[in-house]
């Protein structure tokens, strides 16, 4: 049974008792913990990639797979991830790095999935597009919360909530979320400040961004990052939108701000170059689907002026 099913649930005719049938029932809910009554589907991850049947169309790549699509994949241990609003949960499978990918399946880097599913138009993600962010975030967190951070004992899943519980000292660990800001700075000529980070591909310019430090407001983070990375002062800080960004654990808060003073002076550590750009002469930009590209696109359309 090499055929990977996609779409309508089906079992091979007369398969009961066959190896294929037994493999199918590896995902039997009683054996795997996969609750078919409450699960709206399943995602399969391996490292930073999403694993999907090759026949799955690009437009549906962010949607969870029907359970029957998993037949033929051995040794699965799906994890049920409850929906935030108490609706249908999402199940996820975290394949070990060394696990072979079955024929007729392919791996897609998560960042590519995000570009495919938003096409650069969505500032935030909701509904099914949001569930893949949540599933991936939780899968990563579970990989890194195997042991208690206080006493080192192996953690267990908490019984009533999405948390890890230490059976020895009682420490509870919740999924980690790291707030970060990203900001488009506009000057009085309507130009935007775009910067080239050392980690970007050559020629790509994006926005100033940085993680919130303990004890800071988001506005303090924003003014600090701008001061540290490009040496400027800003005013009229306005919140625009947010986006979960699980690379890893971030929640990006997108802002706009007006230039208020200072001369561009890059830090040389993270930022190699920063310049004011006119709308009709922009450099290579970050990928579609990111909040940075959304803010830049808003500026290109005449907003923030
Ligand atoms: Zn402990």
| DSSP, residue by residue, 160-196 | SSS-EE-TTT--EEPPP-EEEEEEEEE-TTS-EEEEE
Question: Whole-number mean pLDDT of the chain?
Answer: 82
Neighbour tally for 37: CB within 10 Å: 7
Ligand 1 mean position, distance from CA 173 (Å): 10
CA of 277 to the centre of ligand 1 (A): 52
Q: Which residues are within 8 A (CB) of 192 and not within 5 positions of it... i.e. 6 or more apart?
A: 184, 185, 186, 276, 277, 279, 296, 299, 304
Mean pLDDT of 13-18: 34
Kindly indicate the confidence band of residue 73, based on its pLDDT and cuts at 50, 70 and 90. low
Domains of the chain, by residue range, sit at: 19-137, 145-176, 178-300
145 CA → ligand 1 middle, Å = 11
CA nearest to 275, candidates 190, 182, 188, 193: 193
Tokens of 252: 């990006």
Could you tell me which residue, 276 or 127, shows the higher pLDDT?
Answer: 276
Q: How many degrees, rounded to 5, is the angle at CA 181 between CA 179 and CA 182?
A: 145
The CA distance from 92 to 203, in Å, is: 37
How many angstroms is it from 170 CA to the middle of ligand 1? 6
- Sequence-distant (6+) residues with CB within 8 A of 143 are 94
Q: How confident is the model at residue 290 (pLDDT cuts 50, 70, 90)?
A: confident
Cα 169 to ligand 1 centroid, rounded to whole Å: 4
Cα–Cα distance measured from residue 39 to residue 65, given in angstroms and rounded to the nearest whole number = 11
- What's the CA-to-centroid distance between 134 and ligand 1, angstroms? 26
Pick the CATH number of 178-300 from 3.30.1330.40, 3.90.79.10, 3.40.47.10, 3.40.50.2300: 3.90.79.10
Q: Within 10 Å of residue 301's Cβ, how many Cβ atoms? A: 9
Distance 168 CA to ligand 1 centre (A): 5
This prediction has a pTM of 0.79
Q: How far is the CA of 251 from the centre of ligand 1 (A)?
A: 28
Distance CA 3, CA 12 (A): 10
Determine what percent of the chain is predicted with pLDDT higher than 90. Answer: 50
Residue 175 CA to ligand 1 center (angstroms) comes to 16
Q: Which residues pair with 89 in a beta bridge?
A: 39
- Read off the pLDDT of residues 158-203 as tens digits, 9 standing for 90 and up: 988 889 999 999 999 999 999 999 999 999 999 999 999 999 999 9
What local confidence, expressed as pLDDT, does residue 227 receive?
97
pLDDT tens-digit map of 199-208: 999 999 999 9
Kind of pairing, strands 105-109 and 49-53?
antiparallel
Of 299, 285, 112, give the one whose Cα is nearest residue 196.
285
* pLDDT surpasses 80 at 214: yes
Structure tokens of 170?
Answer: 């009682």
156 Cα–ligand 1 center, Å: 10
Instruction: Report yes or no: 244 and 125 within 8 Å, Cβ to Cβ.
Output: yes
CA of 155 to the centre of ligand 1 (A): 8
Q: If you compute the radius of gyration of the chain from its CA atoms, what whole number of angstroms results?
A: 23
The region that residue 256 occupies, defined by phi over 0 for left and psi between -120 and 50 for alpha, beta otherwise, is beta
Please, what sign has the CA dihedral across residues 52, 54, 56, 59? positive
pLDDT tier for residue 59 given thresholds of 50, 70 and 90: confident
């Amino acid at each position: 049974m090499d055929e990977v099913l996609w779409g309508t649930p089906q079992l091979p005719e007369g398969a009961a008792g066959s190896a294929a049938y037994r493999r199918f029932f590896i995902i039997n809910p009683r054996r795997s913990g996969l609750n078919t009554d409450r699960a709206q589907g399943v995602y399969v991850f391996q490292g930073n990639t999403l694993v999907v049947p090759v026949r799955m169309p690009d437009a549906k790549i962010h949607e969870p797979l029907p359970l029957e699509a998993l037949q033929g994949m051995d040794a699965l241990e799906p994890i049920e991830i409850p929906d935030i609003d108490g609706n249908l949960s999402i199940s996820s499978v975290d394949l070990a790095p060394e696990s072979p990918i079955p024929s007729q399946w392919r791996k897609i880097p998560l960042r590519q999935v995000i570009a495919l599913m938003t096409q650069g138009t969505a500032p935030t993600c909701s509904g099914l597009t949001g569930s893949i962010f949540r599933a991936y975030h939780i899968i990563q967190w579970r990989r890194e919360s195997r042991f208690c951070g206080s006493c080192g004992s192996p953690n267990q899943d908490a019984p009533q909530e999405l948390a890890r519980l230490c059976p020895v000292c009682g420490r509870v660990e919740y999924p980690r979320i790291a707030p970060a800001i990203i900001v488009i700075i506009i000057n009085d000529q309507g130009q935007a400040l775009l910067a080239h980070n050392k980690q970007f591909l050559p020629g790509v310019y994006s926005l100033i961004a940085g993680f919130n430090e303990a004890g800071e407001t988001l506005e303090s983070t924003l003014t600090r990052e701008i001061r540290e990375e490009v040496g400027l002062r800003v005013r009229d800080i306005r919140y625009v939108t947010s986006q979960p960004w699980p690379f890893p654990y971030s929640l990006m808060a997108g802002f706009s701000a007006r230039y208020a003073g200072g001369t561009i002076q890059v830090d040389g550590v993270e930022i190699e170059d920063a310049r004011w750009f006119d709308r009709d002469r922009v450099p290579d930009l970050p990928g579609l689907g990111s909040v940075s590209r959304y803010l830049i696109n808003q500026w290109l359309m005449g907003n923030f002026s």
